[in-house]
Amino acid sequence: MSVVGTSPFIKPMTSPSSVSPGQRRHTLPASEFRPLNTQDAISVFEIEREAFISVSGDCPLHLDEVRHFLTLCPELSMGWIEEGRLVAFIIGSLWDQDRLTTDALTLHKPHGSTVHVHVLAVHRTFRQQGKGPILMWRYLQYLRCLPSVRRAVLMCEDFLVPFYRKSGFKVLGRCAITVANLSFTEMWYPISGHAYMRRNSEAIRFPQLTSPLERPGTAGERADT
């Protein structure tokens, strides 16, 4: 998938600071958003495992699946990095049907026009700070830069439906996928028009939404992002 012209959306968010002569500058940006890669897989899985195992007993994506999607479609992932540390992430892949099926949990369909959001998770130290909603907002605006993408879909547990509604998702109905004794609601978000973020993305004001867990259940949670 072409991602030409998307770089302004994943450029580091930095704050100007005065540095006196002789004082060393920090080599890492204070905060940045970027696509993930396979080198991030272990950090991703550690955050995901801590967020989901205690709640649902399983992860939306296992470590081999994280590596799988970060190899096939890294441009559909987004990580929030603070001072070199991954604090939150989203992983997605392309899908080519109107509704999700069990194949959507493991397959990437390169010619699809739907982004399946598999998982959104926030490191436990950084929860209750609004990072989950901010990252989702940033991700959805980034998807507007991808000309072949028409919508985003996810599956979540019922208690997370209000969270995703605040992010602009609409309910499609019950999801055909079940995991163990868990059932899910399927939701969608229309991707249309041009992204409206300024090229100077540092100036963006993010919507202040809050999530009770900042751990969108699966937005793909197998049990989930």
For the entire predicted model, the pTM comes to: 0.77
Instruction: Say yes or no to pLDDT of 5 above 90.
Output: no
Query: Which of the following is catalytic: 140, 164, 167, 189?
Result: 164
Is 164 in the active site?
yes
The pLDDT of residue 219 is 58
Report the distance separating Cα 122 and Cα 134, nearest Å. 11
Percentage of the chain lying above the pLDDT 90 cut:
63
Query: Which of the following is catalytic: 56, 118, 140, 146?
Result: 118
Is 118 in the active site?
yes
Contact 223, 183 (CB under 8 A): no
Query: Which of the following is catalytic: 120, 135, 154, 160?
Result: 120
pLDDT per residue as tens digits for the range 99-134: 999 999 999 999 999 999 999 999 999 998 999 999
What's the whole-number mean pLDDT along residues 138-160?
Answer: 96
Tokens representing residue 147 in the block: 């000309």
Confidence band of 52 (pLDDT split at 50, 70, 90): confident
Confidence band of 14 (pLDDT split at 50, 70, 90): very low
User: Among 13-22, 64-73, 119-128, which range has the highest average pLDDT?
Assistant: 64-73
Confidence band of 194 (pLDDT split at 50, 70, 90): low
Q: What is the mean pLDDT of the chain?
A: 81
Is 93 in the active site?
yes
Q: Three-state SS across the chain?
A: CCCCCCHHHCCCECCCCCCCCCCCCCCCCCEEEECCCHHHHHHHHHHHHHHHHHHHCCCCCCHHHHHHHHHHCHHHEEEEEECCEEEEEEEEEEECCCCCCHHHHCCCCCCCCEEEEEEEEECHHHCCCCHHHHHHHHHHHHHCCCCCCCEEEEEECHHHHHHHHHCCCEEEEEEEEEECCEEEEEEEEECCCCCCCCCCHHHCCCCCCCCCCCCCCCCCCCCCC
Query: Which of the following is catalytic: 93, 94, 139, 189?
Result: 93
Is 36 in the active site?
no
Report the distance separating Cα 131 and Cα 166, nearest Å. 14
pLDDT per residue as tens digits for the range 155-186: 999 999 999 999 999 999 999 999 888 899 99
Query: Which of the following is catalytic: 107, 172, 209, 213?
Result: 107
